[in-house]
Structure formats: structure tokens, C-alpha cells
Structure 1
Amino acid sequence: MTSQQTLPKEGGQPEEPPQSQSSDELKAGLKNRHLSMIAIGGVIGAGLFVGSGAGIAAAGPAILLSYALVGTMVVLVMRMLGEMAAANPASGSFSEYADRAIGRWAGFSIGWLYWFFWVVVLAVEATAGAVILEGWIPAVPQWAWALIVMVVLTATNLASVGSYGEFEFWFAGIKVVAIGAFVAIGLLAVFGLLPGSDNPGKGFAHLTDSGGFFPEGYGAILTGVLMVVFSFMGSEIVTLAAGESADPQRAVRKATNSVIWRIAVFYLGSIFVVLTLLPWNDKSITEDGSYVAALNSIGIPHAGEIMNVIVLTAVLSCLNSGLYTASRMAFSLGKRGDAPRSFARTDGRGVPRTAILSSVLFGFVAVFFNYRWPDTVFAFLLNSSGAVALFVWLVICCTQLRMRRIIEREAPEKLVVRMWLFPCLTYVTIGMILFVIVYMVFDDTGREQMLLSLAVATVVVGVALWRRRSGHGQGSGGERPGPTPSTGIERSPGLGPDGGASDKRADAGRNG
């Protein structure tokens, strides 16, 4: 990550960042192949493998439209994020951009909420992985397996960012190959072209032969949206990782341009295969899992164990990326004075050790809660972080509305990725996200999760506003000491010391 500029003190002289941060920078340890696979695998979470069956049971074949709607929303959000990240690759990504465009309270709030989401995910995925591993080796208790996988992946992240990238390269590679093979073999079986297949190969007949394409009514599409929306969380990880690569702009551009086919193949393609191999109301889809049921229908031996290996890979990938993502967001918050300064310190390999250890410590605590109070304390953590994905996407949209103007004014040459039909599609995406949020409030299955997430978000925003009013972590005049979140734009003739501070509109955009 390149060194950041600083806001001027009163009187026009640039303020130097604290000495403790002057050499604490992340290092470009991720290779292009790492980022390419992180981008591809980032949209494939364990939720796709284990949660799709419930969505199919709730909406029938119409779940394809649910996936298509959410996928479209994610593509648009990623395009907006890609526009900002290509202009300014940063470890804090959308949190830093919100800081600049909306106000410091926004960057603080969404940064901490995002960190909270991922440290809870650590506990969820560690437990899921432990369940699979205990099934294979029951002599080792489940809690011990959870501890082992957490310790191993923590050590990986502490070693170097390259170690994280290498592990994620292979984890994501296994997921990509597995889903690609599943789609290819499944389509051959669908059309009766797979030798030795047990599936009758009815083509597209199963999409309509059990009550039609909308067996549960048109409203089931929205119910399906609520059930699948959170399985897409993780697409944005590549924009955080880009800050530690040699050519971040190229990585962001490639990831942004490829998100459409990634979602089309991995989500829509694989679910389409399941729905064409089996009737949507086949009990095996919910009892065995959608992918296991589909493989069993073809006659693939040991389908359950094969899927367990793939799901375990997805779980470890999510754990690995979750710890990386949480630690980099904590690092960014520390650099901006919104978290303890120790979070912004790196070792000789450019690894933010304190940020990593603090994140994994909370993950360990959450794992303990999951085993000790699964239906009370851990359920609260799970539900109160559940809607953070929607909040993050909403903030990205609102940030992009203002950042586009700032970048166009200060350095238009950095707009190498542009949001389509700006600002119309940005407003449409905001409307889609707000609709899902409101719908969750009135939906029996989503209400508790949304209300608890809103309550936690309200508390975090309240803390941010209190810090702003009391001047915590700020210098004179209400500005922060130390690095400012900036677009990473080099100074141009006629601009202020921070690349635009002399422009009153830029000041308004930065201070919200």
C-alpha cells in the first residue's frame, strides 16, 4: 500500500503522521495469480453448498430468479466499488472511501460493522469445519478441531500476506474446479449424454413439471432473495487485497469485469443444474443437500463424502479470507485513528500482527459462545451481524455517488473503471437494497435478524457521532491527526496540499 498524504494543519502546513506509523506499511506480497483466484473464489462461499437447498424448497424453480436478482445487485455494487478501488487501492477499501466522501462517522461505522461481521463468520466457519472433521476422525472432539483450524490459519496469516494468498489460491482453485465439473457433468446428465448415468435425463422438464415455475407463488421470489443474499458476501474482498499487490489497478479492473460470468456460472449455473436433474420438491434436496442429491441422482458413488471435502475446502477458504479481511479492516481503522494505534503496526514482513491477533481472539471468544450458549449469546451475535452485507452495499452505493464527482474533479485519468449509466443505475441499486431491507423488517423469517443488525448499527453510528462531537482521535479543528483517507490521487497543479483540500466542495465531501 502506498504511503498516504496528510491533511494540512491550520495555517496550511501539512501535518506529519505520528512517528509510530511512519514506516508501518503493508507490503505488496500478493501475485497476480493470487488475486485472480481470490476474485473468482470470493463469490463462492460455503453457503452456496449448504444453504441452497432451503432456498429451493421455499421458492421452487423460481429461486433462479432470486439468485439472478441478487446477482445483478452484486454486479452493480462491485462495479461501483471497482471504480473507486481502481482509482485508489486501499486496505480499508469502501470504509476509507466512505470516510472521504460521506464523513468520518460513516467510515468508522461501516469499518467496524464489517470487522464485526467477519469475526463472527470466523466462529461460524470454524464450527462448520469442525463438524465435518469430527465425522471423519471422531476421536478428536469438535471443539478441538475448531481450535486446530483457527490456529493453523492464524499462523498462515501471520507468516506473510503471500502465505494467505497461496492458501487461498489452492482453496479457491478446488472450489472452482469442483463447481465447473459439477456443472459440466450435470448438464450432460440432464440431456441424457452422460454414459452410465442413473438420471432419466429429462432436459428442462423438471423446471415446470411439479407445479410450474412458480409453485409457491410470485412472492416466493422475494423470500428466496432473503435466503440467498448473504451467500454473496465476500465479492468485495479482492478490493481490500489489491492494496497488497504489485499492480492493484489491473487486479481490480479484471475482478470487476469478470464478476458477471463468475456469478452466472457458479451460482446460476450450478443451481440450474440441480433444478434440472431433480424435481424441486424432491425430499433429498433438503435432507441430503442440493448438490449431494444431484450427484446421487446421476449415480456418482460416495457423493456425500465428495461434497464434504468440497464444503470443508469452502469453509477453510472462508476462514482464511475472513481473518485476512477482518485484520486488514482493523489495520485501516488503526491507520485512520479509529482503532487502537497498535492495529496499524506491521512487522518486518509487512504483516499487521496485532490486527490479526485481535481479530482471531474475538473469533475464539465467539467459538466459545457457540459451544457454551449457542441459542442465546451466539444467536445474538449471528443475527446482529447478519444484515451487515446489505449495509456495506448501501454505503458503497452512497459513497460512489460522491466519490465519482471528487475523482472527476481532481484526477479524471484515474477513472479506468466506470459505473454504467451513472448516476441512474447507482440510484436503482440503492432502491433495490432499501427494498430488501424494508422487506426483511416485515418478513417473519428476516425480521429478527434485520432489527438486531439495525440496533447494532445504530449503536456503532452513535459512537462514531459521539467521537466526532467530542473530538476523540482528532486534531485541531476537528480533523484527524495522521493519514487521511484519500483517493490516492497525486497532487495536480492548482489543488490543495491534500489533493483537493483547497476546494470547498472537496472539504464538504470529506467532512460529510
Structure 2
Amino acid sequence: MASPSNVAPSAGGTGHFKRTVGFYGLMFISLGSIIGSGWLLGALNAAKVAGPASLISWVLAAAMLAVLALIHAELGAAYPVAGGTARFPLFAFGRVAGFIAGWSSWIQAVAIAPIEVEASLAYLDNIPWVKDNLNLLNEDGTLTGSGFGWATLLMVIFTVVNIVGVKLLSESNTITVLWKTAVPLLTVVVLVPLSFHGANFSAGGGFMPFGLHGVFQALPLGVVFALQGFEQCIQLAAEAAQPKKDLSRAVLVAMGIGAIVYILLEIAFIGSLDPAALVKGWADPIAKGDFGPYATLAIAAGASWLAYILYVDAFVSPAGTGLIYVGTSARLTYALGRDKQIPSAFGKLNVRGVPLWSIILAFVIGEASFAPFPSWSQLVSVVTSATAVMYAFAPVSLAALRRQDPDRERPYLTPLPAILAPLGFVCANLIIYWSGWDVNYQIGYAIVAGLVVFAITRAFQKPETRSKLDLKAAQWIVPWFAGLILLGYLGRYNLDAKSPSLNLLPDGIDVLVVAAWSLIVFYWAVACARPTEEVVAAVEEEQFELANQPEINTA
């Protein structure tokens, strides 16, 4: 491997990434991505469709994402490159697979910052003084002119922090995450002794009033969205001070803390509800219009002071997550640009080691995303599905890279890979399926749109500079996703009444069918991986990022 003195700068750029982020910075990047608007709304949305069994939804999601976190931990430590979720499939399956994985990663990452900003403003708009003087939201929940101005200001701040450099991003995020973690835990500590009703766990139709269908339906309505984000430190791997030592630990610790916090919050939420509100079921456990359910529960419990803290956190938590995703979406854009899958200008770094044009693009897309949108829940379902598509590429990449690149140093090893890799692929596919077929065919459209961008980019490249497409290695991707969309159409999960699914697959049977299809595709995909020499050559192209650059600051 090249020594630091021989490391080339970013393609066409003048700078190089600076390895300044240590373990705690990396861990807080992932934990800050996990704790955002999801903790403020996820429990309510899950309870509406699953009742007390929403607790199972959180445990199930935590277990499924823990499997995927173990897989990402090995990949991130073995291949510490910027925008890793886009690069691992590229190494294993070539340009087309790498682009589809990277594009899916980018779709979810670039959408989250504006979602979190709007969530922040929506919470603030519930404060009477803010509503009367700033008027942030229209009656339908979309931004007013004033709201758009404040949203833009937040996006500008996020952009400036990211342009200054990853060290400022890491340091500012660390302070925010300490607050973001303390407030949910404080909420649990206060609500449980003041207003806990154990009978709520069997009220409104029993513990599982909507059966397994409700448990599964809750996952894409905010549960998975809340817990996702553990992989975000991997997107910054090229800026980690000691990536081989710290990345895997950061992923696993952040995932563990996030899962514990969310499960405790769901217990506190269900137990603190007014039993009278559950007599007629779980459709409206909190009064309509109360956008901040925990603040409402705090006031009812006589802890009005906690409600004020929650309203502050309702701004801080989503805003902090938005800050992170501006940075990580820029690293994904950089990865796509560096690999010449989109215009190469986005694959350049400035003299500060920052992907400037990629950060600016994240700002522009974020601004465009403030156009009128449907509900938070519907947006979350789309982002959850796109994230699951990104996650699905990791298990097949792990199995393929272990086989085709066996001599690579792997500082962290996923336990029981022969079991967890296919299981991880099944988990990701089930999340996609539960998101609903109406969401997934839209994701399909977005991937097709991305491929158009990919084709146009290649059309403007000189023939001698175009890398081969590796279509043979990617032959499994279209049948895989088409099969998932078809299974979704035959199933019973969709949010849009205008595009109903056929409801032909019974609950339970549908899970088995999706799992069977997933396993068929998994072993097919691994068999399609590029030859060892091509995989090794693709990895070696990234010596600029893989080389152990001098440590500048490990704090």
C-alpha cells in the first residue's frame, strides 16, 4: 500500500482528507444521526398502528439493524473510504451496482436534513409565542414564507459548519449529542414514577390489538427511521484518525445506546398515556394537534418544566441530525463524483480537505425539498425504504469481498458471517417490503432517474476514460428489486389508498416468501461478484483514502 508521501490528492482536486476525528467524534456522529426527530414522533406513530405491541416493533427493529450494524462495522474498518456505503458494492460488483447503492444512499441522506429542519420548525410552531409572531407553518403543515426563511437559515448554518471542516462538525455535534441523549433519558426518569399505568399495556384491545400486521406496519412509520443512522460515521471514514481501530467500535456503541434509549422511551410513552384515552382503542392516544407527545404527557403528569425542556430539544435534536446529514450526504456525493458516476466536479476536495461542491449540492437539494410535501410519516416511509435498499447492499458486499478479497486486513470480524450476512440481507428486504409497495415503486422511479444521470455523465466522458460497467456482476439487481415490488403489490402494506396493494399474501406467509426470495438473490449476487484481481484492483485505486495519513488530532 502506498505510503503517506505517495498518496495522491483527490481526483482533479488540490486537497486531501484530514484524519482528525477520533473514536468519540465518530461515535457521536452515528449516535447524533440516530437520535433526531424520530424519538419525538416514532413512539406515537408506532402505538397508533401496533398498540402496546409497538414495544415489540422497537425490539425487532433494534435486532434487525444490529445485524446490519455488525456487517457495516467490518466493512467500514476494512475499507475506510469516504461514502463507504457507495464504495463497498462498487468494489464487489462494479460501477452499476456501486452507483445504484450510492444513489440510494444519497437519496436518503440528502432528504433527511430538510425533514429534520421541518420537524424542528413544526415543533416550535406549537409554542404560542412562536406561532403568533413567526407564523412558521400553514394549516396543512407546509412552510410559510417566514418558515421557509428560517428553514433556509438553518440550512445555511449547517452548510457553513460543514465547509469549515469535519473537525468543527465533529466538535459541535458532540456537544449537541450529549444534550440529545440526556433529554430522552430524563424524560423516562421523570414520566415513569409520576404517571406510569401498567394497565395500559393491555388496554384498547389487549397487548397486540392489531396482531403481527400492526407490529410490522409500525416499522416503516418511524421506528426504523429513528434507529437508522448507525452507518453515518462510516461515510466519514476517510477523515477518521484511526479508522481500523475506531470505526467498528463507534458503529456498535452508537447502535447499542440508541436502541436502549428508544426502547425505554416506548415503555415510558405507553405507560404514561391517560387510560381514558385508550378506552376506544389506539387511534388517538394523544389529542390531535399535539405534535409533541412527550411534552403533552409531561404537562399531564404535572412536570411542566420538562415540557419546556422538550420543546427546546424538539428543535435541537432534529437540527443536530440535519447538520450531520448535510456532511454525510456530501461525502456520498463525493464518492459518486470521485468514481466518475456523476460529474467529476463533485469528486474534488478543496485545500481544506472538504468536498465543497458536494456540500453546496446538499444545500441546494435541501432548499428544493422545502416545497410542499405530504405528512412526516409518509416522508419517513420513503426515506426508510431508500435506507433499507442501501443497507441491503452491505451483506452481499461483505460475503463477496470476504471471498474475493480474502487477504485484506480486517480489524473487526462480523461474528458468524455465514449466518449473519444472509440474515442481514433478509432483514433489509423485509424493511423494504413493510414500507409498502406504493413507496417502493416510487423508489424504483428514483433509481431509474439516477441511472439517467449516470448515463448522461458517461456520455460526456471521453471513451478512453470510461470504466467498464460490470453488467454481469450486477445482473441480479434489477430482478431483485422488481421481485420486491411485485411481492409488495401482492402483499398488504401500503399508505396510499389511491394505489392499493392486492392483499393476497397472508400475514406470516408474506414474511416467509420475502425471506425465501431474499436468500435466492443473496447467493445469486455473491456468485456474480467480480473476479479477485478486479476487486483488488478496484480497492487499490482508493489508496489515496486507504493510506494511513499522519494523525493530526485524535481527540
TM range (shorter): 0.7 to 0.9
Identity level (%): 21
Query: Which consecutive aligned stretches of 4+ in structure 1 deviate over 6 angstroms post-superposition?
Result: 2-6, 16-19, 378-383, 465-468, 508-511
- The change in CA–CA distance for 1:477 and 1:26 in structure 2 (over 3 A counts) is closer
AA aligned opposite 2:413: R
1:449-503 alpha-carbon deviations (Å, 9 max, x no partner): 22211221234346657878x79577468459xxxxxxxxxxxxxxxxxxxxxx9
CA contact (8 A) 1:98 1:107 kept: yes
Please tell me whether the aligned partners of residues 331 and 355 of structure 1 are also in contact (alpha carbons under 8 angstroms).
Answer: yes
Contact map agreement 1:242 1:251 (CA 8 A) in 2: no
1:20 deviates by 5.5
Q: Which residue pairs with 1:283 in the alignment? A: 285
Would the alpha carbon gap of residues 405 and 465 (structure 1) be closer, same or farther in structure 2, given more than 3 Å must change?
Answer: farther
| Residue identity in the other structure for 1:99 | L
Q: Which residue matches 2:202?
A: 208
Q: Aligned in 2, Cα 1:257/1:32: closer, same or farther, shift over 3 Å? A: closer
Summarize the Cα distance change of 1:437–1:504 in structure 2 as closer, same or farther, 3 Å threshold.
closer
**2:220 — aligned with what?**
226
Partner of 1:454: 444
Structure 2: distance between partners of 1:328 and 1:19: 13
What runs of 5+ residues in structure 1 fail to find an aligned partner? Answer: 7-15, 190-196, 441-445, 481-502
For the structure 1 residues 404 and 439, does the alpha-carbon distance in structure 2 shift closer, same or farther, using more than 3 Å as the test?
A: same
Residues in 1 aligned to 2:10 and 2:119: alpha-carbon distance in whole angstroms: 43
| Alpha carbons of structure 1 residues 438 and 37: separation in structure 2 relative to 1, 3 Å | closer
SS in 2 for 1:42: helix
Judge which range, 358-367 or 280-289, deviates more: 280-289
Quote the residue 2:502 is aligned against: none
Scaled by the length of structure 2, what TM-score is found?
0.74
**1:322-471 correspondence runs (5 A):** 322-367=325-370, 369-370=371-372, 374=373, 385=383, 387-407=385-405, 409-411=406-408, 414-440=409-435, 446-461=436-451, 464=454
Structure 2 partner of 1:484: none
Shift of the 239–178 alpha-carbon distance from structure 1 to 2, 3 Å rule, reads same
**2:166 is the alignment partner of 1:169:** no
Distance 1:346 1:170 in 2: 27
1:279-306 deviation per Cα after TM superposition (whole angstroms, max 9, x unaligned)? 4647327653432243234321144432
Corresponding position: 1:77 with 2:68: yes
Please state whether the residue corresponding to 1:164 is helix, strand or coil: helix
* 1:88 is the counterpart of 2:79: yes
CA–CA distance in structure 1, aligned partners of residues 449 and 384 of structure 2:
16
What residue in structure 2 maps to residue 505 of structure 1?
532
Q: Would the aligned equivalents of 1:30 and 1:165 in 2 still touch at CA under 8 Å?
A: yes
1:505 is displaced (CA, Å) by 3.0
Q: Name the aligned partner's letter for residue 450 of structure 1.
A: N
Alignment check: 8 A CA contact 2:16 2:352 kept: no
List aligned pairs for 1:121-160, cutoff 5 A. 121-133=112-124, 135=127, 136-137=129-130, 138-140=132-134, 141-160=146-165
- Correspondence list, 1:32-51, <5 A: 32-51=23-42
2-structure distance, mates of 1:460, 1:328: 17
One-letter amino acid of the structure 2 residue matched with residue 457 of structure 1: I
Count residues in correspondence.
455
Counterpart of 1:266? 261
Seen in structure 2, the aligned counterparts of structure 1 residues 349 and 365 have a Cα distance that, compared at 3 Å, is: same
Alpha-carbon distance between aligned partners in 1 of 2:9 and 2:445, rounded to the nearest angstrom: 35
Residues 1:117 and 2:111 are matched in the alignment: no
Please state whether the residue corresponding to 2:208 is helix, strand or coil: coil
- Cα distance change of structure 1 residues 183 and 463 upon mapping to structure 2, 3 Å threshold: same
RMSD of Structure 2 on Structure 1 (CA): 3.3
- CA shift, 1:23, in A, is 4.2
Q: Work out whether residues 335 and 341 of structure 1, in 8 Å CA contact, stay in contact via their aligned partners in 2.
A: yes
Question: What are structure 2's unaligned runs of at least 5 residues?
Answer: 135-145, 470-529, 539-555
Q: CA deviation at 1:382?
A: 7.8
**TM-score normalised according to structure 1 size:** 0.79
Instruction: Provide the secondary structure at the position in 2 that maps to 1:28.
Output: coil
Q: Which residue of 1 aligns with 2:46?
A: 55
